[in-house]
């Protein structure tokens, strides 16, 4: 069963629906630890941990896209590459960014971090894709 992801530009241009095989929504924190030798008076150093509260939220999507567009709002590989090249400019506010919608309820503004396309011998007419979006803000 494929999971539905909709990519929509903030300007209201046509939305595209892609079918994903896997969606991963992850949160990563960045604490730093450093040993402080000699503080405890023993051979075992004390551990100093600094956490500035930085949090990275990202959504990873993997799936299969057709070489030729099946039509409608479902993009081909060429359509998807064009979207990725032109929609994500890194300026403005969060609401100026394109957003992705997971299913019919969860929407997020964000930046495209990475996109990979792979073609395998058994799937000459299809491309495997992987995309990572850095979430900037939830869309209300």
Domains along the sequence of the chain with CATH: 3-138 (2.40.30.200)
What is the rounded CA–CA span in Å between residue 114 and residue 96? Answer: 20
Q: Is the C-alpha dihedral spanning 94, 96, 101, 107 positive or negative?
A: positive
Arithmetic mean of pLDDT, 113-132: 87
The stretch 96-124 carries a mean pLDDT of 85
Q: Is the pLDDT of residue 86 over 90?
A: no
- Cα 100 to chain centroid, rounded: 9
* pLDDT at position 25: 94
Contacts of 11 (CB under 8 A, 6+ apart): none
Cα angle value 134/135/137 (rounded, 5°)? 155
Residue 94's pLDDT band (cuts 50, 70, 90): low
Judged against a pLDDT cut of 70, whether residue 61 lies above it is answered with: yes
Q: What are phi and psi of 105, to 5 degrees?
A: -130, -40
For 102, phi and psi rounded to 5 degrees? -95, 120
Beta strands in 30-139 (DSSP E): 32-36, 46-50, 55-66, 99-102, 106-118, 126-138
- pTM for the whole thing? 0.77
What pLDDT was estimated at residue 6?
87
Alpha helices per DSSP H over the chain: 77-87
Asked if pLDDT for residue 134 goes beyond 70, the answer is yes
Q: What is the mean pLDDT of residues 19-23?
A: 91
- CA distances to 68, 69, 99 from 140, in Å: 34, 31, 11
């Amino acid at each position: 069963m494929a999971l539905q992801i909709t990519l929509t530009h903030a300007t209201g241009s046509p939305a595209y629906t892609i079918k994903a095989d896997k969606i991963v929504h992850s949160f990563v924190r960045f604490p730093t630890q450093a040993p402080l030798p000699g503080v405890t008076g023993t051979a075992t150093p004390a551990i100093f941990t600094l956490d500035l509260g930085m949090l990275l939220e990202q959504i990873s999507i993997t799936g299969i896209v057709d070489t030729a567009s099946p039509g409608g709002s479902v993009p081909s590989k060429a359509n998807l590459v064009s979207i990725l090249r032109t929609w994500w400019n890194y300026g403005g506010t969060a609401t100026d960014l394109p957003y992705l919608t997971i299913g019919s309820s969860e929407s997020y503004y964000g930046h495209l971090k990475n996109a990979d396309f792979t073609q395998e011998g058994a799937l000459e007419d299809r491309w495997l894709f992987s995309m990572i979006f850095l979430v900037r803000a939830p869309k209300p």
